Chain A
Amino acid sequence: MKDQQQFIRNFCIIAHIDHGKSTLADRLLENTGSVAQRDMKEQFLDNMDLERERGITIKLQTSRLVYKAKDGNEYIFNLIDTPGHVDFNYEVSRSLAACEGAVLVVDATQGVEAQTLANVYLALDEDLEIVPVINKIDLASARPDEAKQEIEDVIGLDASDAPLISAKEGINIEGVLEAIVEKVPAPNGDPEAPLKALIFDSYYDNYKGVVIYTRVFDGVLKAGDKIKMMNTGAVYDVTEVGVNAPYQTPVKELSAGSVGYVCASIKQVRDARVGDTITLADRPAKEHLPGYKKVQPMVYCGIYPTPDEKYENVKDCLEKLQVNDAAFVFEPETSQALGYGFRCGFLGLLHMEIIVERLEREFDLEIITTSPSVIYKVVMHDGSEVMIENPSNLPNPTEYDHIEEPMVKATIMLPKDYVGSIMALCQDRRGNMTHMEYITEDRVALHYDMPLNEVIYDFFDALKSKTRGYGSLDYEFDRYERSNLVKLDILLNKEIVDAFSMIVHESKAYGRARFVCEKLKEVIPMHQFEVPIQAAIGQKVIARETVKAYRKDVLAKCYGGDISRKKKLLEKQKEGKKRMRQFGTVEVPQEAFTAVLKYDDNK
């Protein structure tokens, strides 16, 4: 049985967005004759826009390829893909744990980027063998030698024999395949030992229930087995095991060293948590694989149906997403301003944007999202702690002793020309630089200690804008820290609109207050009466704007095209309010909720 394992290579691909990961994956599949590239592409094409826009890498499907190497042997390659973004760090680390090696793709024109580096460090933590590859050598601006040097300087890896390739042009794909055979170690599990299999991914299928992707370390897994999740303790009967070759193909068994999928009539993705260990119920392993942790949401926001959307529709769709996403949580909440909706928790801002985007694009929902907030720890006078996910729930200042906010360790990589403006940006966002290093002559890594609440606001947009897209960001949660925070309320026509309430650092309150008032003044239409917009801390108003009154009493003209529109304008007192929310008597267009969040270059 050990013999069989020596022809298996389990690996992943690490690359920065646009450095050619998906293209290389396509080429590997093509070159091993596994599939026409078209078929594979369809599986992730839907998310490509999002990926490009936000610099995240959506998962490719795990695939099994067969490669006939120059040594004459046939090897089974399991290509395990990892999500690239920092929000999904934990999932990344579990995917990496399923591999013995990682192909590191570096763009010969761009060099190493922050997210790449973060994932390389994760891979090194998991003791993976790193196989560097220099991509895009066909481009005129390629500097392969510099890219190699960067890999050696920054990561400390020998890159002298890294294959020089062009995934796009199909140049030297063979070199990558051979390097995988030579450098990535074969798995060496014990097929006779009790079953130990790592869950590194799972998704919900309408017919099969949850489909688990797993790496078997020890033992054998087959249909009919009664399995147990070692951390959650849940027990299931296996209905099917198989491999992706690249379509799901049932097999008799998955033995030590293999990668494949398992179905066991599991109803929710959260019942098969990434990182958990599968063992056999009647012959359990002594201990589970290391590294299991339950992921916790870090960022919250409210999601509300617009007046045209049904609450039940939103609920259904959130449930559908949750079945497939163990890290996404939601619970009902009520807002005076927005009515019935949900408070939703996400791993990070990008995770949030993906979910919101999917609700809008895939499910065609019309929703309003409120300002994202981190979770604040409120320490009461008696020492008890309350976690606050919704700013409007913050207790009265007399009731608590102090507030703590989450801090992150942030790494920013950027060309040296932008260091000045980014240091100013970070300082503005209450960041403390811990250290700075020159990666190469032109590229710099800045390490900051920063409040998460500043990162989730519009930091990423500002960074991209100020570095013309060349800056990259990575962050991880570090600790809670006591901070001087206040709740900023927004009042329209003297009434608090709870959906606009936010918690900000005292030093930022005036700036934010002015910004929000100005933005709202732009987007709120004129009414028959003056509309004061105020920002207040407690009873104290710290910023104010006014939307002028405009008397529109005469239906001066009205022809065929106007009838419904004009009639509806007059009817909205009763119900309509198309795409508008009414607070008191002030109409607030939906765009107001996003307008107050947008990064403003002129600010």
Chain B
Amino acid sequence: MTTTNKDGRILLTKHREDYLAENAQSSLKPLGLYLHIPFCVRKCNYCDFVSFPEQSGDVIEAYVGRLCEDIAAAGETYGSRYHVDTVFIGGGTPSLLTPQQLQRILQAVDDAFLVGCEFAQNCGAGLKGCDGLEISMESNPGTFDAEKLRAFIDAGVNRLSIGVQSLDDGVLRHLGRIHDAETALKAMRAAKSLNLNYNVDLMLGIPGQTLAVWEDTLKRTIAEEPKHISFYSLQLEMGTPFYRDFKEGRLTLPEWSENREMYHRALEVLKDAGYQHYEISNAAIPGYECRHNLKYWTMQDYLGLGMAAHSFLEGRRCFTTSDLKEYLKGPAEPSWEESDPWDRKTDFVFTELRLIDGFRKEDYKTMFGCAFEDDFGPAYRKLLQEGRMEEKDGRVRLTPAGLDETNPVMEELLNV
């Protein structure tokens, strides 16, 4: 059941009263829920995510059915220990779903879990994008209009992530995107017109993209006033057309220095426009950070449902099958990854250092019972000396130089 609160934002409310009453004494922990929708109109040239283009409506319908089953089962297993405070519907292209399908999925979540609001007030971040419950959905321009978006909002979505990537038609074609710049602008304007909190995904370091083209994309995006912007450097992943083309000399990437220039330019432009750079490739108007994604970078519990979905629960990681047929067959146990205390320590360092503010040494000690230096001393001192890491007010973080080439930094730390 959903209803609109007085700000025009949407909340799942079935259990709200009960939940508030119960949660006053209860010890239900917050849980992020990731739901994977592995369907796309077409596969982009750089994409190595688990997604299946051109599926029939029957397959998608069957998938939604299976997903709802999994959500119900997860409620039985985890519902008594957790309340859900973020939902992230990723893909693939979730906006390919019909509003009815999305409604079914979110209804299943509402039925299976206590969906909660109070957490936001306690966490102190003063998040404004949603009132306690963040429900994000990924989308691609060209798969929805304002009317469909309105229906998604009615179903419960209160944060939209739009895969724009670029506002240059040449670059978009090169990437194999299904939309042009005009369609992307329309998508952003639809979200804006509905007063919806939305993010825009942009990509830099793309073949054929110059610094000027990148800056133009960035500025025109900012003009649409999204609350959140993600800016990624294109990566060639094995098995993609881009990877093969590059390896065989048919594709040229911007020089490394140019790639970094684009990144630095983005930081300046975003800062001038009032965005705060809070993670390597994410910036937001203060208070509109993506709470679900923050869980990934702060070692909080999240549960991934659907196929090819990853979870991190009580210190253990697991993932579900990447085989669509197998997934559709029926419920199956996820594969649990083995982890030891060292894995958890390196996970912590690896994820928290992605945040621009890094982490508090105190928190490390509380979590693991020993000082950060005890575990990572030699590598850490080396990185401090080289100016790739820094320490301030008890916080450890990467310097701008460290952020530029994070892999070598992480390698030093992980192989200490």
- Give residues in A with beta carbon < 8 Å to B: 525-526, 547-548, 550-561, 563-564, 566-567, 570-571, 573-574
Contacts and interface: CB of A to CB of B under 8 A. Distances in A.
B354 A558 contact: yes
Interface stretch (B14-22, B74-82, B123-131, B231-239): B231-239
B233 A525 contact: no
B284 to A, nearest CB: 15
Interface string B313-351: 000010100000000000000000100000000110011
B407 A555 contact: yes
B208 to A, nearest CB: 18
B346 A571 contact: yes
Given A548-B249, A561-B319, A571-B346, A556 B304 contact: no
A554 B405 contact: yes
A561 B309 contact: yes
Given A548-B249, A567-B346, A560 B233 contact: no
Contacts of A554: 233, 235, 259, 263, 280, 404-407
A289 B346 CA distance: 70
Given A554-B407, A567-B347, A571-B346, A561 B304 contact: yes
A550 B246 contact: yes
Contacts of A561: 304, 308-310, 319
Contacts of A558: 280, 296, 351, 354
Given A525-B238, A570-B411, A573-B411, A560 B304 contact: yes
Contact of B408 (A525, A548, A553, A571): A553
Given A560-B310, A567-B414, A570-B414, A553 B406 contact: yes
Contacts of A557: 230, 232, 280-281
B415 interface: yes
B350 A563 contact: yes
Contact of A555 (B90, B234, B310, B406): B406
Interface in B9-44: 34
Contacts of B410: 555, 567, 570
A499 to B, nearest CB: 22
Contact of B247 (A526, A552, A556, A573): A526
A566 B230 CA distance: 19
Given A552-B235, A561-B310, 13 more contacts: A526-B246, A553-B405, A554-B235, A554-B259, A555-B410, A556-B234, A557-B280, A557-B281, A558-B280, A560-B34, A560-B302, A567-B410, A570-B411
Contacts of B230: 557
Contacts of A551: 256
Given A550-B246, A564-B317, A571-B346, A555 B354 contact: yes
Name which of A525, A561, A573 has the most chain B CB atoms within 10 A of its CB: A561
Contacts of B198: none
Name which of A525, A551, A560, A563 has the most chain B CB atoms within 10 A of its CB: A560
Contact of A547 (B232, B247, B312): B247
B293 interface: yes
Contacts of B415: 570-571, 573-574
B294 to A, nearest CB: 11
